[in-house]
Amino acid sequence: MRVFKQISVGFALSAAVFAVQAADVTGAGASFPYPVYAKWASDYKAATNNAVNYQSIGSGGGQQQIIAKTVDFGASDDPMSGADLDKNGLLQFPAVIGGTVAVVNIDGVPAGKLKLSGQVLADIFQGKVKKWDDAAIKKLNGDIKLPSADIIVVHRSDGSGTTFGWTNYLSKVSASWKAEVGEGKSVKWPVGQGGKGNEGVAAYVGQLKNSIGYVEYAYAKQNKLAWTQLENKDGKFVQPEQKAFAAAAANADWKSAPGMGVVLTNEPGAASWPVTSATFILVHKVQDKPVQGKAVLSFFDWAFKSGQQAAEALDYVPLPEAVTTEIRASWKEIKGADGKAVWQ
């Protein structure tokens, strides 16, 4: 089984790019975008001889580390509110779009075969549907032989933006879930066991027969896990794929939330994947080390220009050019202690 690990590529920034030597650019946070950030970092190193060291520690950890200024950028799938951004002096912008999928380990059930509705999914994670041959699941899957086995629920144990998106979706499709569990990076799970990061959940589901969990789609593919179809808001059962994530994000109003913190779960549209989300980058508006700040922005500028093909190969959805143009304009708010803009 392949489980994603931390990428760390050492480098010294060229004097031709910056007037002073800079240390490695460091970032930490969400595991949801780790596969694409790892690929971007590898390709960026090859193209520029500059490197990015990104640690997959969960969105909660990413927010904490950027607030504490222990990294050059934080990453979170749970967008910060305008009040929290202002309180901590942070700028937020989206980096890429992807989808979270339910993954199962049931003998004889291949990827993309099992169908689940949002309500049934919520009931499983709430412990109300306890066995795979429950009538509610069988009703959706008359052509599949399901075992009379207890369902093992696997969830995140860490503060997670993936969990925020997952529980936000379940809160939209289940009144019971919303009232009794709610949404957030961490919740009091009614049942199940926890794994750290998308990596941990993928590993547990791969090992445990009759289990179900949720991971970013690239983790399901790379670990050869069986994902499920989900019923979307229009009542259509859809497969997780790039075009379904793109359909969900097609009508996103990026200006409707502070820091472009748009939530894309349960979007309308016959082709829309119901658990789609953007993932976000956090940087300080006032940079104690302007060289480092500029290096962070240079990396994402490169990724927006040259990383689209790599993102698509991993089944993420690159941001539209109009959105990245708006993001670059927002970077002018980032300044050094002397008041000079870091990004021109």
Residue-wise pLDDT tens digits, 59-81: 999 999 999 999 999 999 999 99
pLDDT of residue 160: 94
- Answering whether pTM is above 0.85, one says yes
Residue-wise pLDDT tens digits, 289-311: 999 999 999 999 999 999 999 99
Do residues 59 and 164 lie in contact, with contact meaning Cβ atoms separated by under 8 Å?
Answer: yes
Query: What distance in Å separates the CA atoms of residue 60 and residue 75, rounded to the nearest whole number?
Result: 9
User: Is 24 buried (19+), middle (13-18) or exposed (0-12) by CB count in 10 A?
Assistant: middle
Residue-wise pLDDT tens digits, 124-170: 999 999 999 999 999 999 989 999 999 999 999 999 999 999 999 99
Domains of the chain: 100-249 (3.40.190.10)
Query: What distance in Å separates the CA atoms of residue 24 and residue 211, rounded to the nearest whole number?
Result: 40
pLDDT of residue 12: 31
Residue-wise pLDDT tens digits, 24-73: 899 999 999 999 999 999 999 999 999 999 999 999 999 999 999 999 99
- CB-side exposure of 3: number of CA atoms within 13 Å? 14
State what percent of residues in the chain have pLDDT above 90.
Answer: 92
18 pLDDT band, cuts 50/70/90, is very low
Do residues 15 and 49 lie in contact, with contact meaning Cβ atoms separated by under 8 Å?
Answer: no
Over 70: is that where the pLDDT of 3 sits?
Answer: no
C-alpha pair distances (Å), 124 with each of 171, 212, 214, 225: 14, 9, 12, 19
Place of tokens 């200024």: 69
Do residues 255 and 322 lie in contact, with contact meaning Cβ atoms separated by under 8 Å?
Answer: no
Sheet holding 237-238, edge to edge: 115-116, 229-231, 237-238
Do you know the residue count of the chain?
A: 344
* Radius of gyration for the alpha carbons in the chain, expressed in angstroms and rounded: 20
Residue-wise pLDDT tens digits, 163-193: 999 999 999 999 999 999 999 999 999 999 9
Averaged confidence pLDDT in the chain: 93
Classify 54 as helix, strand or coil: strand
Amino acid at 173: V
Do residues 238 and 184 lie in contact, with contact meaning Cβ atoms separated by under 8 Å?
Answer: no
23 pLDDT band, cuts 50/70/90, is low
Query: Which has more confidence, 283 or 20?
Result: 283
Query: What distance in Å separates the CA atoms of residue 186 and residue 161, rounded to the nearest whole number?
Result: 9
Place of tokens 């599949």: 144
